[in-house]
Each structure stands twice: as structure tokens, then as C-alpha cells.
Amino acid sequence: MIKVAPESVRRTVADRTQPPVGGRFVLGRRASLLVSAGVVSHTLWTSAAPALTYGLYADEWHLTHTVTAGIFAIYPIGVVVMLVGFGGISDQIGRRATMLAGFFASLAGALLFAVAPDVWWVFAGRALMGIGVGLAASPSTAAILEFISEERAKSAASVTMGAQAIGFAAALLLGGALTEYGPWPTRLCFWILAVLLFILLTGAWFLPRHAAGGAVGGWRSRMPSVPTDVRRVFAVSSTAMMAAYTFGVLVLSLGGQVEHDLIGSPNAFLNSTVLSLFPIVMGAIGIIARTLSPRVALIAGALISCSGMVLLILAVNVRDLVIYLLAIAAAGAAYSLLFVGGLQVISAAAPERNRGGILAALYLLSYLSMGALALVLGAIATARGLGLAVDLGAAAIILMNVATLALAATTPFTKPHSPAPPLST
């Protein structure tokens, strides 16, 4: 029988960077936390990478709004498929193995984008990116919770959201600059993404192996699930996350085209700079959000989100870039508050043996709502115009925020479970 060492001993062992007795080099706790944050960052980078190229694809291949929205939507659909089939798999085979599988799929998707001769290659690349993120999203979030020190456990949600903000902003700013001023505007940003993914994949290879929740043994497919005793709290968290993630449809799927077609801004770099205000504000507010109670963060996020959606509707109807800028900033602040509040709530309630599966269920609903809304709004934009699609999308997000307000105000929240299981190699 293997005895579990005291926490002080386990932490000392986790911080070492020398090879263990078996000979395999592993990263220490801090380096592992950094790599895990990089994995989280790539989930938003891959999501935002094509944001400024949808219009270029539409011009080059004569695509409708329905098709370009479909390119966006196939990504969250791929995420959902993987979460449905393999949502709790990291609780069985470990965070490291699941994240590595996700990286290989994301890397293949980026390479398909980089060489795509027609729209079908883009669809295939986007689907592979979705598969990669579907595999990597929940284990990377769980890994941050497990690698972070106990005294900083409350900061895990902010670290996760900050990593998302960095990936999001980098993808938009780099993509906009290369689209407007660089060669191969529909390809070069994906070559750079592929290089980044390869570097992160190499780092993930040296992560310690987890025996998360005590799970060991062979691989088997398992649906993500939520234990009965945390379902009310899960409802609060998932509603907030769905409201936050559906911002992605208006910012990433339609944002570039809204700025070009409705606001009248033709410069891709300027448009990407405006859109990047979303993750920049998101990251800045995240520093404040971690000091708030989850209930206050959720209520404030829902109220700011409603205000932002009203500003978005106004900006599109009067074609004003300044109002649009304010709407994007409000959406970024709301995303931060909703994400941090929602993740803190579910992280506190989730027992570690089920953590991967619960987070997978959370991401499943978030990405499912994003994909469904993108397809519906794309069809409406093609049939009735882009302006109406934006108005209806903003209205749908307002309704989600009303539900978040009601649940956050009436649901009792639970005390945290232990944040970090032991590591094994």
C-alpha cells in the first residue's frame, strides 16, 4: 500500500524540477501552473483566430452570412461533441494525457487553416480546433485549480480568466495586424498559431501525471455529469457562463463584419483593436472580480451585460463607433464578472473526484449555447439583414442575464472543497 505524504512534503516534491527516480523529467508546481494557463489561453486564441478573416473568406469564396456563421459554429459544435462523449475523461486518464490529445487536434486544425484551398478545409480545421478545445478546456481549468497553491486557491478563477484574456487579445491584435498589413492575410496568423501550439504541446508533455480524484485505470468514454447535491449551484454557474460565452457570437462571429458593414470601419487592424478592448477590459476587471463575493460578481456582471447589450443595439442602429466601443468594453467587463463569479461558485461546490466532469458539463452548456446562437443569427443575417441579427442576439443575451440575476439572488452557495489532490508520476 502506498502512503500519501503530508502536504508539506508533497508540495516540496511538486516544486522540484529534477527528473524523478523513474527518469522522466517533470515540471514543478509553478511551471505546471504556467503551462496549464497556456492551455487555457489557447482555447480562446483558437476561438478568436479567424475573427478578422471571415469577411475575407466571404469575399474570396462568395460566402453568405449563414456560411461564415457556420464556420464559427462548427467550432463550439466540435467542443460540445467532445464534451458529450469524453467530458469526464480527464478524471480517468489524467489532465496531462487529455490536454496532449487536445493539443494535437488543435495543431492539426491550425495547419488546415494555414493551407486551406477552399472553404471545406476551413470547416475541417475549425472542427478539429473545436475537438481540441473540447478535450483541453475542462482539464486545463481543473489543472489550474490543482497546481495553484492553497493560499491562492481563491485566485484560480481569475488566473483562468486572465489566461483567456491574454489568448483572446493576442489573437485579435495579431490577426488584425497581419490581415491589414502582412502577407498572406488568411494564412500567416494560423502558421503563428501552429508554432505557439507546438511550443505549448512540448511544455504539456512534461507536466506531472495526476491521479485526479483517485481515478486510475483504463480509458472509457463517459458523459459529463453533475452530482445531485450541486445541481442548484451548477444552474447558477452555467447560466452565468452561457450568458458570458454567447458574447463570443457577437464579438467573434459577427464583430468584424458588424464593424465593416454596419459601423463603416474598413481597416482590419482598427477593427481588431476595437474588438480587443473586450479581452483587455475582461482581464483588468478580473483583478477586481476576485475580490468580490461570487454573488456580487454575478449580479454586477448581469447588470453590466444588459447595459452593454443595450449600447450594442444603439450603436448598430445609429452606426456610431464610439458607442460600439463602449458596448464592447461593457461586454468585456460583464464577461469577467460572470465568468469569475460562475467559476468560483462551481469550484467551491465541486468535489475533486468529480471536478473534471462537472467543469466539462459547464463548458458543454456554454459552447452549446454559443454554437446554437451563431447558427440562428447567421441564418437571420442572411435572410433579414445583419442589423436584425445583432438586435436579436443582444436581446437573447439580456434574457440570459435576467435568469442569472434571479438565480444568483436566490441560491445558497456552499463552502469550498479541497483545491488540490496529490500528484503522482
| Neighbouring-strand partners of residue 209 | 424
Residue 422 scores a pLDDT above 70: no
pLDDT digits (tens, 9 = 90+) for 344-366: 888 777 776 677 778 778 888 88
Mean pLDDT over residues 26-52, rounded?
A: 84
Instruction: Give the residue-averaged pLDDT of 371-397.
Output: 86
User: Which percentage of the chain shows pLDDT scores above 70?
Assistant: 81
Residue 210: pLDDT band (50, 70, 90) is low
| Residue 306 confidence class, pLDDT cut points 50, 70, 90 | very high
| pLDDT at residue 121 in the model | 93
How much is the pLDDT for 344? Answer: 82
Longest dimension (CA), the chain: 71
pLDDT of amino acid 284: 87
Task: Give the three-state DSSP class for 209.
Answer: strand
* Per-residue pLDDT tens digits for 251-298: 666 655 666 566 666 777 777 787 788 888 988 887 787 788 889 999
Q: Can you tell me the mean pLDDT for 316-332?
A: 85
Q: Is the pLDDT of residue 373 over 70?
A: yes
pLDDT for the residue numbered 220:
54
Q: Report the share of the chain in percent with pLDDT over 90.
A: 17
Query: Do residues 216 and 90 lie in contact, with contact meaning Cβ atoms separated by under 8 Å?
Result: no
Spatial distance between the Cα atoms of 133 and 46, rounded to a whole number of angstroms: 8
Q: For the chain, give the mean pLDDT.
A: 79
What is the rounded average pLDDT of the residues 12-39?
66
User: Which has the higher per-residue pLDDT, 137 or 24?
Assistant: 137
Least confident of 86-100, 221-235, 319-333: 221-235
Confidence of residue 112 (pLDDT cuts 50, 70, 90): very high
- 399 has pLDDT over 90: yes
Helix (H), strand (E) at residue 251: none
Q: Which whole number is the average pLDDT over 186-196?
A: 90
Residue 293 in grid coordinates: 463575493
Quick check: 239 and 345 in contact, CB under 8 A? no
Determine the average pLDDT of the residues in 54-76: 83
Whole-number pLDDT of residue 18: 41
Quote the pLDDT of residue 261: 61
pLDDT at 184: 86
With b for 16 or more beta-carbon neighbours within 10 A and e for fewer, the 112-147 pattern comes to bbbebeebeebbbbbbbbbbbbbbbbbbbbbbbbbb
Confidence (pLDDT) at 222: 58
Query: Is pLDDT larger for residue 208 or for residue 18?
Result: 208
285: closest CA among 306, 304, 309?
304
C-alpha cell, 410: 436566490
